[in-house]
Amino acid sequence: MTALAHPRLTVPDTAPAALAALTAELAATAGEYDRTGAIPEAGIAAAHRGGYLTATVDPRYGGPGLDSIAVARILVALGEGDPSVALIAANNLNTHQAQAARAVWPEDVYTEVVRRSALAPTLLNSVRAEPELGAPARGGLPATIARRTADGWRLHGRKAFATGGTALAYHVVWALTDESPQRVVHLLVPADSPGITWHETWDHLGLRASNTHDVSYADVVVPIESFVEIPLTAGAYRDPSSASGPASFGHVALYVGVARAARTAFIEFVRTRVPAALGKPIAETERIQAVAGEIEAQIVQAETLLFGTLAQLAAGDPAVPHRLSLVKAQIARSVIAAVQTAVAALGNAALTRHHPLERHLRDVLCVRVHPPQEDAALLAAGQALLRGTIPR
């Protein structure tokens, strides 16, 4: 396939001024979407308009094919403006990046995705978690079943935590076939297929506008060409379409943006807060200045880990891939610490619903749910260290 088969997609502007403008546009509506839980249509539209939703589409499909450092910058900016939009975008970018690395989508299906993406937001997401199993990162097989028919498949089952909700254009559904022996697969399902039902289960602490609802599939017809097998390698199913390596930093990147937004909210408050007994802004006190320094230290640490690790990966450092899970866990610690430090210093003012720090605190805590979670990352690193299998 050549780029001529597709409309040329917008090359996103990743200059600091452009990303700052993107952040500001999303931030203008983020609070209202958080309150209502509605799909953040304005933010998604802004991200699409600038080409940020298709930044990872490969040049052979007419896309810009931006590298992981540029993508991380985009997701930091989106997360600083509206992390619900950023999460939806991160999943979409990961799907395109996986296709660029290993073309598993049928050519005509992906051609249509790219064509639609040039015209309007065309959101993709891997729909994998299940009510009984939870997320598959810790093992297990799906209860969702793909039944073979004469001309394709019929899909049955229920999924949990399907970020994007009814805004999705395609579901990449993780399923188990009814064959003998069974196979683990992804089915590429258009979101308007008959038999898809959404269940409004998402009533969450943070990222409330991400619409991470449950979805069920009842006798959904899937064409034979929309079937992607996940190979069994060394006794485990290695999902070729899952984001790995630098692409997996998309989720933590958006929370670096949340920490930046919290820093901004903190600065605005302390510069304007003038207690009667003090007679000057609290920003002029050494206590608040030291708190500001601690917030900055945590954000600097998170950014250095994020962009430094991506730069090392790009340079081909062989030791870095073995550290990715630990680095992600450390970034999560830093962004949470930054926001919690701001909240602790301001007390009740930061915990009231009309102050943005309350929302930033709720949102940043969601970094902990993304795999690999901290306990799994620490266990794997410790075992590798004690076995002597970590490259030095």
321: pLDDT confidence band, cut at 50, 70 and 90? Answer: confident
CATH topology (fold) of 3-121: Butyryl-Coa Dehydrogenase, subunit A; domain 1 (1.10.540)
Higher pLDDT: 259 or 391? It is 259
Assign a CATH topology to domain 245-387.
Butyryl-CoA Dehydrogenase, subunit A; domain 3 (1.20.140)
**Domain limits, CATH 1.20.140.10, in the chain:** 245-387
- Sequence-separated (6 or more) residues with CB below 8 Å from residue 190: 169, 170
Question: According to the model, what pLDDT value does residue 142 have?
Answer: 93
The 10s digit of each residue's pLDDT in 21-66 is 999 999 999 999 999 999 999 999 999 999 999 999 999 999 999 9
Q: Band of the pLDDT at 134, cuts 50, 70, 90?
A: confident
pLDDT surpasses 70 at 244: no
Pinpoint the residues of the chain covered by CATH 1.10.540.10: 3-121
Topology of the domain comprising 136-237: Butyryl-CoA Dehydrogenase, subunit A; domain 2 (2.40.110)
Distances (CA, A) of 39 to 45, 186, 307: 11, 25, 30
**4 has a pLDDT exceeding 60:** no
Q: Taking all residues of the chain, what is their mean pLDDT, rounded to a whole number?
A: 92
Please tell me the predicted confidence (pLDDT) of residue 233.
66
Domain with CATH 2.40.110.10 in the chain: 136-237
- Which amino acid, one-letter code, is at 309? T
